[in-house]
Amino acid sequence: MNIAFFGSAKFAVPALKALAGLYNVSCVVTQPDKQKGRGLTLEHTAVKDQALELKLKTYQPVKINHAEAIAFFKKLKPDLFVVAAYGQILSQEVLDIPQIFSLNAHASLLPKYRGAAPINWAIINGDTKTGLSIIKMEKAMDSGPIILQKEINISQADTAISLEGKLADIAARLLLEAIHSIEKRNYILKPQDDKNITFAPKLKKEDGQINWEKSAIDIFNLIKGVLPWPGAFTYYNDKLLKIYRSQLARALGRGDAGEPGQIIQVSKEGIIVETGKDNLIIEELQIEGKRRMPAEEFIAGHRISPGDRLGYPEKKIA
């Protein structure tokens, strides 16, 4: 089985390792290197780093659907394209190149959460279950028939980072199972139910801004769901304040404690903030210009007290 593997993000690394151990991965297709930092050093994708370690051939087209890339893929004469968190949409002309077809590992229970950020939106929306789908790819995004699915629970402790790790390992196992069934010609293609389609668009920076009018549970889920990027943020004394970890306050109800965004208690436990419903404990944060730190350390170094407000900046932030 001659396989061309398409992937870029860390999510795809376990799948590449699993496939390379059992099949002929003739090429690893990944996004181009990017300049990063003040020194503008070139940074590889996580998948390229793994491919180099495995001594696999890599190909990094700027535009996957251009004639040059298409000619390159045809010369490979692949049986399968296997795609996981690649980062570009493949045209039908590209999808039709393999002798068999193109497979995609998608981190949701399709047709729910088609799109670029299914893991993030499952956490943000407070879902208790998600999963992994292996589909035959079609031109329309994440629309192809399903070969395999695996459902898992989302724990309250899960962040987008931890959930990605769990689903990445499942993707590797399910891809091997799917390819084995294709080799044996005993797979079934199950069409997706178009009545249950939902979408998970790519996150934007503003998706991380906290609206304190929302409930504590909604903000708690947002903080977990927008990791590692764009991260949840608010403002304190007109300075950007990033929040990395929080907890629901069990003992306190809203009552007449204050308005949404108002700090109602400061202690070793953390910074307790009023929301639109119930209270939230900030446990780890980072003020603009400083490093990330536990709330207890932040409290020790700042004059923060009950009655202070978090929210939109009073003056315009450039």
pLDDT per residue as tens digits for the range 113-145: 999 999 999 999 999 999 999 999 999 999 999
198 half-sphere exposure, CB direction, 13 A CA radius: 11
Specify whether 296 is located in the same domain as 187: no
Token pair for 64: 């996957």
Q: Is residue 262 part of a domain?
A: yes
Query: What's the pLDDT tens digit per position in 18-42?
Result: 999 999 999 999 999 998 776 678 8
Q: What is the pLDDT of residue 315?
A: 53
Q: Is the pLDDT of residue 105 over 50?
A: yes
Please report, for the domain that includes residue 243, its CATH number. 3.10.25.10
152 and 67 in a common domain:
yes
Instruction: Please indicate, yes or no, whether residues 6 and 107 belong to a single structural domain of this protein.
Output: yes
Q: Is residue 299 part of a domain?
A: yes
Same domain? For 230 and 192 the reply is no
Taking the C-alpha atoms of residue 242 and residue 286, their distance in angstroms, rounded to an integer, is: 5
pLDDT at 225 over 70: yes
Choose one of 164, 196, 228: the last residue of a domain: 196
- pLDDT score recorded for residue 258: 82
Domain hosting 264: range is 205-311
What is the average pLDDT across 280-299?
97
- Asked if residue 317 is part of any domain, the answer here is no
186 and 214 fall within a common domain? no
Q: What is the pLDDT of residues 39-61, one digit of tens each?
A: 678 899 999 999 999 999 999 99
Asked if 47 and 183 sit in the same domain, the reply is yes
- Which pLDDT value is given to residue 254? 46
Identify whether the C-beta of residue 212 lies closer than 8 Å to the C-beta of residue 260. yes
Q: Which residue in 220, 213, 223 sits closest to 249, CA to CA?
A: 220
Supply the CATH number for residue 141's domain: 3.40.50.170
Q: Determine the Cα–Cα distance for residues 226 and 209; give it in Å rounded to an integer.
A: 10
CB count in 10 Å sphere of residue 231 = 14
Domain end point (choices 138, 170, 196): 196
305 in the same domain as 171: no
Region 270-275: mean pLDDT is 96
Could you read off the pLDDT of 139-162 as tens digits, one per residue?
999 999 999 999 999 999 999 999
Does residue 266 lie within any of the structural domains?
yes
38 and 182, same domain (yes or no): yes
Are 298 and 159 in the same domain?
no
Domain count, the chain: 2
Q: Do 120 and 226 meet the contact criterion of CB atoms below 8 Å apart?
A: yes
Give the three-class secondary structure for 20: helix
Confidence of residue 318 (pLDDT cuts 50, 70, 90): very low
Task: Report yes or no on 318 lying in a domain.
Answer: no
Question: Is 217 in the same domain as 242?
Answer: yes
Domain assignment present for residue 187? The answer is yes
Residue 105, number of CB atoms within 10 A of its CB: 25
Question: Do 50 and 170 share a domain, yes or no?
Answer: yes
Indicate whether 316 belongs to any domain: no
Residues 214 and 75 in one domain: no
Residue 125 lies in a domain: yes
Strand locations in 161-304 (E): 232-236, 239-248, 263-267, 270-274, 279-287, 293-294
Q: Model confidence over 239-254: pLDDT tens digits? A: 999 999 999 996 554 4
pLDDT of amino acid 316: 47
Beta strands at 101-106 and 129-136: parallel, antiparallel or unpaired: antiparallel
- Residue that terminates a domain, selected from 172, 196, 220: 196
